[in-house]
Amino acid sequence: MPAVNVSDTLQRPLHGLRISVTDRCNFRCTYCMPFDEYQWVERSEVLSFAEIARLARLFAAHGVTQIRLTGGEPLVRRELSKLVAQLREIEGIRSLSLTTNGALLAEQAGALRAAGLDRINVSLDTLQPDRFRKITQRGELQPVLDGLAAAKAVGMDPIKVNAVIIRGFNDDELLDLVEFGRHHGFEMRLIEYMDVGNASGWTPDKTFSKREMVDIIHARFPLREVGRASGSAPAVDYDFIDGAGQIGIIGSVTEPFCSSCTRARLTADGKFVTCLFAETGFDLKAKMRQGASDEELSEIIRNIWANRGDRYSDIRWEQLKAGTGYEPRAHKKIEMITLGG
């Protein structure tokens, strides 16, 4: 199928696709999905690998060049490397990456690499075992460190480490995390705590701002701003002036980047979602299972993207700055664990 590029109502093209391969997770991070029990997606409703690959091919035909697999925890989905191998075959996909909590990475890194995965983000918010247990509620630090080492050993490059910085919880570890990345050759991705979903206990005062992070890091390890990769990446990148690599900082709350957001999302149960803070998505799986043709599905994808006008984080920041009372729970957002972070 020839590529047909499409832009939304704010002239943003469609370039990225984040695919949630499962809403299940072996952790219960307090900032994401703290609940023991939840209304999980029925297994029969979860897209098969063949369905995911079919939709990914149609998205690629509309300009998607980058795919990231996420969840929930993607490595709890059995034989994920088989999906990686299928997605690797899709024409036009230049970057295929994975975001994981790392707990199962040591045992899967080799198969993922062999299937064609070269880029990986591992989430790690603290280097202190007690704190790690506290924030994940179910996880242990060491397997994640082992997973990072395994990813390095099999030659994944780049390896990025995502850390959500929460005021009063781990902001005191900012420099330790940065040093950890510099020491091991991992690119730290420092993320402002956001009000994703409805389950986290986010309040604005817990967001440790990008500006504060830059100031603290720059005082210890001088930085030079590089900008956003491809102009549209969530992170603003900085080089260490001493040549010891790079870090990225994602200021979703205090420096929103809606105007350059080119990312679509596909939930584990096949809903096409156009914003991380969306309340609903379009059920592509239902259409697919009713027998829709590639042409029909393509038209739906095109129309939804062409009508997209989302700018949730811009509006939130305008309201927070104006002090007009941003109320996170007034919006019944899809949980991040369902739509894929």
Ligand X SMILES: C[S@@+](CC[C@H](N)C(=O)[O-])C[C@H]1O[C@@H](n2cnc3c(N)ncnc32)[C@H](O)[C@@H]1O
The residues that touch ligand X, with contacts defined as CB under 6 A, are 25, 31-32, 70-71, 73, 99-101, 123, 162, 164, 191, 193-194, 196, 200, 336, 341
Least distance to ligand SF4, CB of residue 247, Å: 20
**Which span sits near ligand SF4 by CB under 6 A: 22-30, 179-187, 287-295, 317-325?**
22-30
Q: How far is the CB of 336 from ligand SF4 (least distance, A)?
A: 6
Which of 28, 113, 206, 271: binder of ligand SF4 (CB under 6 A)? 28
Q: Which helix (H) or strand (E) holds 272?
A: strand 271-273
- Only one of the segments 70-78, 108-116, 177-185, 302-310 lies at the binding site for ligand SF4 (rule: CB under 6 A); that segment is 70-78
Residue with structure tokens 């909590």? Answer: 101
In terms of CB distance, is 253 or 297 closer to ligand SF4? 253
CB of 272 to ligand X, least distance (A): 18
| 8 A C-beta contact, residue 280 and residue 265 | no
Q: Which of 232, 212, 214 is nearest to 223 (CA)?
A: 214
* Rounded-to-integer distance, Cα 294 and Cα 180, Å: 46
Q: Give the nearer residue to ligand X in terms of CB position, either 31 or 186.
A: 31
Burial class (CB in 10 A: 0-12, 13-18, 19+), 157: exposed
- Give dist(CA 279, CA 121) in Å, integer: 26
Of 16 and 63, the one with the shorter C-beta distance to ligand X is 16
CB of 169 vs ligand X, minimal distance in Å: 12
Regarding 335 and contact with ligand SF4 (CB under 6 A), the answer is no
Tell which positions 113-152 bind ligand SF4, by CB under 6 A.
123
147: CB partners within 8 A, 6+ apart: 100, 102, 103, 104, 105, 106, 109, 122
Residue from the set 17, 29, 58, 261 that interacts with ligand SF4 by CB under 6 A:
29
Q: Using CB under 6 A, which of 32, 52, 55, 150 touches ligand SF4?
A: 32
- Calculate helix-pair angle for 294-306, 49-60, nearest 10 degrees: 60
Q: How many CA atoms lie within 13 A of 260 on its CB side?
A: 14
The CA-to-CA distance between both ends of the chain, in Å, stands at 29
Which of ligand SF4, ligand X, none does residue 28 bind to, with CB < 5 to 8 Å depending on kind? Answer: ligand SF4
Give the nearer residue to ligand SF4 in terms of CB position, either 58 or 122: 122
Query: Who contacts 182 (Cβ-Cβ below 8 Å, separation ≥6)?
Result: 221, 240, 244, 245
**Minimum CB distance to ligand X smaller for 211 or for 289:** 211
Q: Does 337 bind ligand SF4 (CB under 6 A)?
A: yes
Collapse the DSSP code of 76 into the 3-class scheme (helix H, G, I; strand E, B; otherwise coil) and give the result: helix
Q: How far is the CB of 244 from ligand SF4 (least distance, A)?
A: 28
Strand, helix or coil at 35? coil
Going residue by residue from 175 to 204, which x/- string records binding to ligand SF4, judged by CB under 6 A? Answer: ------------------------------
Cβ–Cβ contacts within 10 Å for residue 302, how many?
Answer: 17
Select from ligand X, ligand SF4, none the partner in contact with residue 238, using the beta carbon and a kind-dependent cut-off of 5 to 8 Å: none
Q: Are strands 119-123 and 95-100 parallel, antiparallel or unpaired?
A: parallel
Rounded Cα distance, 73 and 27, in Å: 8
Of the pair 62, 77, the CB lying nearest ligand X is at 77
CB of 54 to ligand SF4, least distance (A): 25
Question: Is residue 128 a contact partner of residue 169, using CB atoms and an 8 Å limit?
Answer: no
Q: Is 227 helix (H, G, I), strand (E, B) or coil?
A: strand
Binding-site ranges for ligand SF4 (CB under 6 A) = 25, 27-29, 32-33, 71-73, 101, 123, 337
